[in-house]
Amino acid sequence: MASAPKIAKSSKTKNDALDEEAEGEKFIHQQDAIEKIDEVQNDIDRLNEQCSDEILKVEQKYNKLRQPHYQRRSEMIAKISNFWVTAFVNHPQVSALLNEEDEEALQSLTKVEVQEFEDVKSGYKINFHFAENQYFENKIISKEFHLTETGDPSSKSTPIVWKENKDLTKVRSSSGRKRSHSEQQESFFSWFLDHTDAGSDELGEVIKDDIWPNPLQYYLVC
Amino acid sequence: MASAPKIAKSSKTKNDALDEEAEGEKFIHQQDAIEKIDEVQNDIDRLNEQCSDEILKVEQKYNKLRQPHYQRRSEMIAKISNFWVTAFVNHPQVSALLNEEDEEALQSLTKVEVQEFEDVKSGYKINFHFAENQYFENKIISKEFHLTETGDPSSKSTPIVWKENKDLTKVRSSSGRKRSHSEQQESFFSWFLDHTDAGSDELGEVIKDDIWPNPLQYYLVC
């Protein structure tokens, strides 16, 4: 066809007409094949959804089965003074976020709980339980991550009720303890104010996926 | 205790002895707690393994269930000329790897198959089926990725039997078709020779996780 002379449609030869017909038929066959691929694709998509649902059910089942063990682990951990602050200090990534006063404040951290939400996919919450301390009034400070109805990641935290002049997320006035004159006070607790990385919160994910599954290994590395 | 005078062990007072005893008891209690945490951790680890096993079984079941659909999809795709080369050219990441002659050679690609190995975790294999073409003798060229017994990732490929002067992975001699004088011929087919990224082979993962689950969407984007 490439070398055939261009001719007006009205004057086409019998061969051209046959070729066009063949081309047309080929086109119809291909369209038909595409539709069938699309149907098969729908079947595959349905199977993928069923597969995800079944995996979700397995995860939910084991989340429930793990609960009493986590409970018991928390009870044992509570018997060890400074367990959590030690584990945090020994964890390379978390340690980098801790200044001296953070460590002092975290000595009152008695319990950490990671709760995966029922449907797993939609998020998780980390509860930090504190004993009476000189920094804040809260007994529990939480940060949670979830997907909004539109599928966007979002996070929220318990507001921290700081004691007077004890807000570790704020630069201390010169009347306070002597400090370097950095503009912004970097503190572990600033993480509770930061909701910019709700979709992939580094500290949240380190606690959930790395420390929580086995905190003892970080407590013992010292 | 901090302000107590330092005294030799032999002359310690009754209070010091009591404190030491208390310290010793605390130490024993903490050791005991650590051992119990370790036991609980073993229970959790066992549950995690069971959970992974169950998820693996679900994935294996659906891998089997998807097979006849993939089979039927391949049959339909075979009816559309240039389906795979079109999908590859329309895929932004794969397209970047294709030179003109690659595209020509890939016009003879009639079938792509992704096989996840039975235990899923251990790897996958991609089979590329070709019609008779001017570049190589192979009817099938495969690349597979798996973990060795030591857990290290590794990959291997079918050796390509190039026709004379047609090796697309080699710089063409000046007697060949006119080309730019680049030192290294960049070609899609060089991927079959490259086993440096077996653990996270970008093209392999794009084909397995992005194109294979729904190639029609890339075929139709044109």
Put simply, the answer to whether B76 touches A30 (Cβ < 8 Å) is no
pLDDT of residue B184: 53
Q: What is the DSSP string of chain A?
A: -TTSPP--GGG--HHHHHHHHHHHHHHHHHHHHHHHHHHHHHHHHHHHHHHHHHHHHHHHHHHHHHHHHHHHHHHHHTTSTTHHHHHHHHSHHHHTT--HHHHHHHTTEEEEEEEE-TTSTTEEEEEEEE-S-SSB--SEEEEEEEE-TTS-EEEEEPPP-BPTT--TTSPPPTTSS-----SS---GGGGGT--TTGGG-HHHHHIIIIITT-THHHHH--
What number is the ipTM of this complex? 0.78
Last residue of a domain, one of A77, A95, A117: A77
| B142 and B57 in a common domain | no
| B189 and B90 in a common domain | yes
| B117 and B24 in a common domain | no
pLDDT digits 0-9 by tens, A106-145: 999 999 999 988 765 678 999 999 999 999 999 999 999 9
| B108 and B33 in a common domain | no
Instruction: List the single residue in A with minimal CA-CA distance to B38.
Output: A216
In this predicted structure, which of A42-51, B6-15, B119-128 has the lowest mean pLDDT?
B6-15
| B120 and B57 in a common domain | no
Residues B118, B57: Cα–Cα separation, whole Å: 10
Residues B60, B119: Cα–Cα separation, whole Å: 7
For residue A219, pLDDT beyond 90 = yes
| B129 and B47 in a common domain | no
Q: What is the DSSP pairing of strand A123-130 with strand B140-147?
A: unpaired
Percent of chain A past pLDDT 90, that is, above it, reads: 69
pLDDT digits 0-9 by tens, B142-190: 999 998 878 889 999 999 999 999 999 986 544 445 444 444 568 999 9
Q: What is the DSSP string of A107-162?
A: TTEEEEEEEE-TTSTTEEEEEEEE-S-SSB--SEEEEEEEE-TTS-EEEEEPPP-B
For residue A166, pLDDT beyond 80 = yes
What's the CA angle centered on B190, arms B185 and B196, to 5 degrees? Answer: 120
Check if B221 contacts A (Cβ < 8 Å).
Answer: no
Q: What is the DSSP string of B166-207?
A: --TTSPPPTTSS-----SS---GGGGGT--TTGGG-HHHHHI
Residues A23, A71: Cα–Cα separation, whole Å: 70
Closest approach of chain B CAs to the CA of A61, in angstroms? 9
Which of B33, B62, B214 faces A51 most closely, judged by CB atoms?
B62
| A102 and A71 in a common domain | no
Chain B stretch 108-127, residues whose beta carbon is closer than 8 A to a beta carbon of chain A: none
Which secondary structure element, helix H or strand E, spans residue B125, and what is its range?
Answer: strand B123-130
Task: Supply B54's token pair.
Answer: 């169950």
For residue A153, pLDDT beyond 60 = yes
| B107 and B60 in a common domain | no
Can you give the length of chain A in residues? Answer: 222
Q: What is the DSSP pairing of strand B153-157 with strand B140-147?
A: antiparallel
CATH number, domain of B109, equals: 3.30.1120.90
What residues form DSSP beta bridges with A164?
A: none
Instruction: List the single residue in B with minimal CA-CA distance to A73.
Output: B37
Please report which confidence band the pLDDT of residue B121 belongs to, taking 50, 70 and 90 as the band edges.
low
Q: Which domain holds residue B67?
A: 1-77
pLDDT of residue A139: 98
pLDDT of residue B130: 98
| A85 and A61 in a common domain | no
| B160 and B102 in a common domain | yes
Q: Which residues of B touch A77 (CB under 8 A)?
A: 33, 37
* Number of domains composing chain B: 2
| B203 and B141 in a common domain | yes
Residues 6+ apart with CB under 8 A from A37: B73, B76, B77, B216
For residue A185, pLDDT beyond 80 = no
Please report which confidence band the pLDDT of residue A171 belongs to, taking 50, 70 and 90 as the band edges.
low
Sign of CA dihedral B162, B164, B165, B170: positive
pLDDT of residue B13: 64
Last residue of a domain, one of A50, A77, A104: A77
| Residue B100 DSSP label | H
| B102 and B46 in a common domain | no
Instruction: List the single residue in A with minimal CA-CA distance to B56.
Output: A55
Last residue of a domain, one of A12, A44, A77: A77
Check if B50 contacts A (Cβ < 8 Å).
Answer: yes
pLDDT of residue B120: 52
Please report which confidence band the pLDDT of residue A170 belongs to, taking 50, 70 and 90 as the band edges.
confident
Quickly tell me which residue has 């030491």 as its tokens: B20
Residues B81, A9: Cα–Cα separation, whole Å: 26
pLDDT of residue A6: 43
Among A23, A35, A76, most B C-beta atoms within 10 A, so best to mutate, is A76
Check if A222 contacts B (Cβ < 8 Å).
Answer: no
Task: Supply B131's token pair.
Answer: 């019609």
Q: What is the DSSP pairing of strand B123-130 with strand B109-116?
A: antiparallel
